[in-house]
Amino acid sequence: MSRVVVLGAGVSGHTAAAFARKWLGRSDTVTVVSPKDYYNWIPSNIWVGVGLMRPEQVTFPLKPVYQRHGIEFVHGAARAIHPEGSSDDPTPHVIVTPTGGASGATVKVPYDYLINATGPRLRFDRTPGLGPEGHSHSVCTEDHAAGAARALAESVERMKRGERQQFVVGVGHGTCTCEGAAFEYIVNLEFELRSRGVRDKADILWLTNEYELGDFGMGGMHFEVGGYVTPSSVFNASLFAERGIEWVTRAHVRQVDPGLIHYETLDGAVREQRADFAMLLPPFSGVGLKAFDRNGGDITASLFQPNEFMKVDADYRPKPYEDWRAGDWPRTYQSPVYRNLFAVGIAFAPPHAISRPFTSPSGAAIAPAPPRTGMPSAMIGKAVARSVVDMIRGAEAPTRTASMAEMGAACVASAGANPLTGTAASMTVFPIVPDFDRYAPYGRDLKRTFGEIGLAGHWIKIILHHLFLYKARLRPGWSLIPE
């Protein structure tokens, strides 16, 4: 009998656990450890954030799903990994603080194979005043999104009374990722203001750490349309210009006060921006897992990068940007220290950014971090689950690869939800991490990288919402739905 433990029940962890359970024999166990006892389909938090959906439409309880499929569930937060066991018990295990348990209580969860899918810690603390506990809003969780929707409704009422409102949407720190989520939110917000008849009372600003619009933490993209190659900066700028959205790029938010955002730009300028409503996403770090050897010695630094994401089979040697290569990126997501330890989704440490890094005269890093969410997370989770199952059955090494430098991804970003007048930006990119050696000069295959916007994309987005919630609930035929 083998014990597979998955830390986290987001897209990557839930996918890994579901496939591991499907492929393993009944004598083997699969256990999920998660501080949340429900699943959140995060891409649809955007619609919660503009008041078009309720939190319960993008979430569901996990325990009944896991019970039906023979997956054990531990409701709690993982705190420490003991990959060598301890002096009195050689079994590898994870220390977990149960949710709702007595103060200071912990439980030991043993494993033969461990998949770290803990996702990110939302670092609102890195910018004073940032976040729902401060003076801005977020759509990172369904609760955050519901709060943003309430604030938006208040702004709409003010505009109906004749007040002008300044909306600022983007990222709240120079090292943020997930520009795509903020992009999706701003175009939905603009659409909703038009739908509610108050667009003429709104000024909307996009505030981003991207060097150019359309970077999205991927160094931008190029599309071949009508025989011409167009950068995503033009695609993005056209979309914003059509909607009357202004923008500020190359920005690092230093502080958020009530109604006022303080930021600096790459050229060293320090500015202020009025904001009646601000939705600014935070930077991410790992969740802060610790690791200890058999004798209780702290080995956290050998398993994790300083940003608290787990090291895997990537090339983490410091290099100039010009020396970064697609081959630096991990393929199996196995720990280089322990063969039975893996990290998937946002939990693995990327070897470097994809976009060129920049630093302001004050020393602030201003460059998007690489995205590792959605489709890539699910594909990585599935590949690692297959490797773990094969290793349990006798394989000496991981049998599946899922390098972001060798896979493509599709993204359908809502740009306004309405069955007749809504739109969505549909984009594909291949590969996610550009490979300039293989696909010179743009780093990607132009035949498999494209973007367009239209009503059809909105209908696809709606279908995907229902399809992936169906898949996540592990309904009949779930495994046939592609990641």
Q: Are strands 277-281 and 251-257 parallel, antiparallel or unpaired?
A: unpaired
Average pLDDT, rounded, for the chain? 95
DSSP three-state, residue 231: strand
Confidence at residue 458, expressed as pLDDT on a 0 to 100 scale? 85
Distance of CA 189 to the CA centre of its chain: 21
Using CA atoms, how far residue 297 sits from 89, 92, 111, 342, in Å, is: 15, 15, 20, 21
| pLDDT grade for 401, boundaries at 50, 70 and 90 | very high
Confidence at residue 178, expressed as pLDDT on a 0 to 100 scale? 80
Third-level CATH fold of 3-122+284-357+370-392: FAD/NAD(P)-binding domain (3.50.50)
Least confident of 99-108, 245-254, 371-380: 99-108
Q: Are strands 165-171 and 202-207 parallel, antiparallel or unpaired?
A: parallel
| Average pLDDT value for residue range 99-113 | 88
Confidence at residue 21, expressed as pLDDT on a 0 to 100 scale? 98
Give the DSSP H/E element, type plus range, for residue 101.
none
| Average pLDDT value for residue range 108-123 | 97
pLDDT at 326 over 90: yes
Confidence at residue 237, expressed as pLDDT on a 0 to 100 scale? 94
pLDDT at 103 over 80: no
Contacts of 405 (CB under 8 A, 6+ apart): 326, 327, 329, 431, 432, 433, 434, 435
| Average pLDDT value for residue range 81-105 | 90
Give the residue, 271 or 422, on which the prediction is more confident.
271
296-301, long-range: CB within 8 Å, 24+ apart, which pairs? 296/86, 296/87
What is the tens place of the pLDDT at every residue in 171-226?
Answer: 999 999 888 899 999 999 999 999 999 999 999 999 999 999 999 999 999 998 77
Entry pTM: 0.96
pLDDT at 101 over 80: no
pLDDT at 115 over 90: yes
Nearest to 429 by CA among 327, 328, 354, 332: 354
Confidence at residue 411, expressed as pLDDT on a 0 to 100 scale? 85
Confidence at residue 412, expressed as pLDDT on a 0 to 100 scale? 84
Least confident of 32-36, 217-221, 245-249: 217-221
What is the tens place of the pLDDT at every residue in 128-172?
Answer: 999 999 999 999 999 999 999 999 999 999 999 999 999 999 999
Confidence at residue 457, expressed as pLDDT on a 0 to 100 scale? 84
Least confident of 64-78, 167-181, 291-305, 420-434: 420-434
DSSP three-state, residue 210: coil
| pLDDT grade for 426, boundaries at 50, 70 and 90 | confident
Give the DSSP H/E element, type plus range, for residue 34.
strand 29-34
| pLDDT grade for 68, boundaries at 50, 70 and 90 | very high
Least confident of 178-187, 377-386, 468-477: 178-187
- Strand ranges inside 213-358, DSSP E: 222-225, 228-231, 246-248, 251-257, 260-265, 270-274, 277-281, 284-285, 290-291, 341-343
Domain map (residue ranges) of the chain: 3-122+284-357+370-392
